Structure 1
Amino acid sequence: MKVGFVGLGNVGSKLAGSLLRNGHDLTVFDLDTGKVAEFVALGAREARDAAALMRDADVVITCLPSPAICAATVTEMLPEVTPGKTWMEMSTTDDGVMKSLAAQVQAAGGAVVECPVSGGCHRAATGNIAIFAGCDRDTFERVLPLLTTLGRRVLHTGEIGTASVLKVMTNYLATANLLSVCEAMVTMKAAGMDLATTYEAIKISSGTSFVHETEGQVILNGSRDISFTMDLVKKDIGLFQKIAETHDIPLEISPLLGAIFDDGIAKYGARELSPNIIKRLEHATGLSITAPGFPAQMTDDEPEEPGYEVVPPGRIPPVAAE
């Protein structure tokens, strides 16, 4: 199977690296020619543009920073879509945009899988990241070997659109966790608590979370580097708020998260690393929320393992049609 990959950013480069590391026939395209050159040096081929990638590959994966960029890329590839081609979208995107683009690809005879990832760049790098997959069951069965190379835990979420909705929801929860961790750390510092001890107290208690155990460490290191920026957070929580508004849900926390990140972007810039949202409280209090002994970047210390399908409780996965 010939695989094409568009988008060698913070997450995309890690996902493409898993394909290359596991021996897949890989061709890449990105506007950053330096990133393309790095992959070519490792054995990948270079595509002239996204359309050429679709023409020459069996499967094309996109991992791009916004719904608008995704739409523009798919529009460029669409004339090269023929029966037998598959488009796999791994970005965090709008479910309405995803459904519209999927319909166009399917009308041209192609298959579509929306498969956003969750778990951080450090897990994308090792192939241990989680993947949500929205598509029909037959298509899911066909691309599952590819998905289990890209990630460890793969959840079939249902039809096109469902994976995007669930991914946006998880990013909303992660943002709420991040802001509560920031408030907890600053408050404990003001109360005279040792921050390394505070970190462990949260980690071993009911107050822990994935965000605390990952982003909490780089916050305390001072690097705040999780390869994710404030504008991307704002995009994701904005997509969640849009879903809630579409269904007339009167959310209270979600608008507050959006307002906090609007303020963070105004103060520090859209491309500021997202954990530096804690600067708002550091600057307001004059406190420095750092401690020795924490890493500058997260690394996945779990060995790369074969991926597998996650089946929700009480559900037996359907058998694909013969």
Structure 2
Amino acid sequence: MKVGFIGLGNVGGKLSGSLLRNGTALWVHDLNPDFVAQKVALGAQDGGTPAQMMQDCDALITCLPSPEASAAVLAEMMPHVGPGKIWMEMSTTDAQEVKRIGAQVIAAGGAAVDCPVSGGCHRADTGNISIYAGCDRPTFERILPLLTLMGRRVLHTGPLGSASVLKVMTNYLATANLLTLCEALTVMKAAGMDLGTTFEAISISSGTSFVHETESQLLLSGSRDVNFTMDLVQKDIGLFQKLAETHAVPLEISPLIIEMMRDGQRRYGAQAQSDRMIERLEEATGLDIHAPGFPDALIDDEPEERGYEVHPNR
């Protein structure tokens, strides 16, 4: 299968790297020519334009920063969609938008999948990230070999759009967890607790989580660089809030999280790293939320293995 990959940023660059590392015939495109050149040096082909890539490739993956960016790229590719072509949307996007565009792909004879990832850039870099896939079962079985090169655990979530619904939910939970960890660490520091001991206490307790095991280390080391910016967080939690409003669910915590992140953007910039939210509390209290012995960057030390399908309980 010839595969095209459009969007070689923080996540897309790593996912496409896993495909290359595992011998996939890959064509690439990005608005940044340096990103394209890096992948060409590793064995990819310069795809030229999205339209040309849809002509040349069997499966075309997009991993872009916004629904608008994906829509613009798909508009270029649509004249060349036909039987046998697969569009795979790996961006975190609006479920209704991916269904709208996907319907056009399907009407033209192609197949459409929303397959966002979850687990952090460090796991995307090693092929150990998790992947959700929303599509019909025959399409899922066609693309599963590709997905298991990019991710360790692959979940078929149901029809097109279902994966995007689940993904914005997980990003909402991750953001809520980040903000509560910022508060917990600051309160522990104010109470005179050693922050290294606090980290271990959380890790072995009912309060632990994936976010704690990863991002708390970056909070305490002071690097505060999780490769995920506040504007992307705001997009994702906004999509979750929109989903709740669409289904008339009166959320209380979600609007507060959105406003807290807006405040973080006002203070540090729209594209500041999301972990800098801890600095709001440092400024408010005068406390220094750092501890020795924590890494400046996350490294996935789990050996890379071929991924597999996760089957939900029924």
TM-score (norm 2): 0.99
CA distance in 2, matches of 1:192, 1:205: 20
Query: Alignment RMSD, CA only?
Result: 0.6
Shift of 1:128: 0.5
What is residue 320 of structure 1 aligned with on the other side? none
Give the Cα separation in 1 of the matches to 2:21 and 2:285. 47
What residue is the counterpart of 2:197 in the other structure? 197
1:19-168 equivalence runs, <5 A = 19-168=19-168
Letter in 2 for 1:232: L
Aligned to 2:264: 264
Q: 1:318 is matched with which residue?
A: none
Q: What amino acid does structure 1 have at the position aligned with 2:4?
A: G
In 2, Cα distance between equivalents of 1:170 and 1:62: 20
Which amino acid in the other structure matches residue 244 of structure 2?
Answer: A
Between the aligned partners of 1:273 and 1:311, the Cα distance in structure 2 is 34
After TM superposition, give the deviation of residue 288 of structure 1 in Å: 1.4
CA–CA separation in structure 2 for the residues paired with 1:312 and 1:146 = 21
Q: C-alpha displacement at 1:48, in angstroms?
A: 1.4
Q: CA deviation at 1:219?
A: 0.8
**Structure 2 CA distance, aligned partners of 1:212 and 1:144?**
30
Q: Distance in 2 between matches of 1:271 and 1:144?
A: 34
Find out whether 1:228 has 2:228 as its counterpart: yes
Q: Which residue is 1:176 aligned to? A: 176
Q: Secondary structure at the match of 1:152?
A: strand
In structure 1, what residue type is equivalent to 2:192? G
In the aligned structure 2, how far is the partner of 1:194 from the partner of 1:77? 55
Are 2:308 and 1:308 equivalent residues in the alignment? yes
Q: CA deviation at 1:107?
A: 1.1
Letter in 2 for 1:121: C
Amino acid at match of 1:209: S
Q: Offset at 1:164?
A: 0.3
Q: Distance in 2 between matches of 1:313 and 1:107?
A: 33
Q: Deviations over 1:38-88 (max 9, x none)?
A: 011111110111111111111110100011101111111111111111010
Measured after TM superposition, the shift of residue 113 of structure 1 is 1.0
Amino acid at match of 1:193: M
Residue equivalent to 1:319: none
C-alpha displacement at 1:264, in angstroms? 0.5
Question: 1:17 is aligned with what amino acid?
Answer: G
Q: What's the secondary structure of 2:87's corresponding residue?
A: strand
Measure the CA separation in 2 of the matches of 1:141 and 1:23. 19
Distance 1:261 1:217 in 2: 20
- What amino acid is the match of 2:264? G
Query: Unaligned 5+ residue runs, structure 1?
Result: 315-322
Distance in 2, matches of 1:81 and 1:297, equals 41
Measured after TM superposition, the shift of residue 313 of structure 1 is: 1.3
Counterpart secondary structure, 1:68: helix
State the SS of the aligned residue for 1:298.
coil
C-alpha distance in 2 between matches for 1:183 and 1:76: 46
Look up the match of 2:6. Answer: 6
Partners of 1:91 and 1:200 in 2: how far apart? 34
- The runs of at least 4 aligned residues of structure 1 exceeding 3 Å deviation read none
| Alignment partners' CA distance in 1, 2:19 and 2:141 | 18
Give 1:155's aligned amino acid: L
Seq. identity, % = 68
Give TM-score scaled by structure 1 length: 0.97
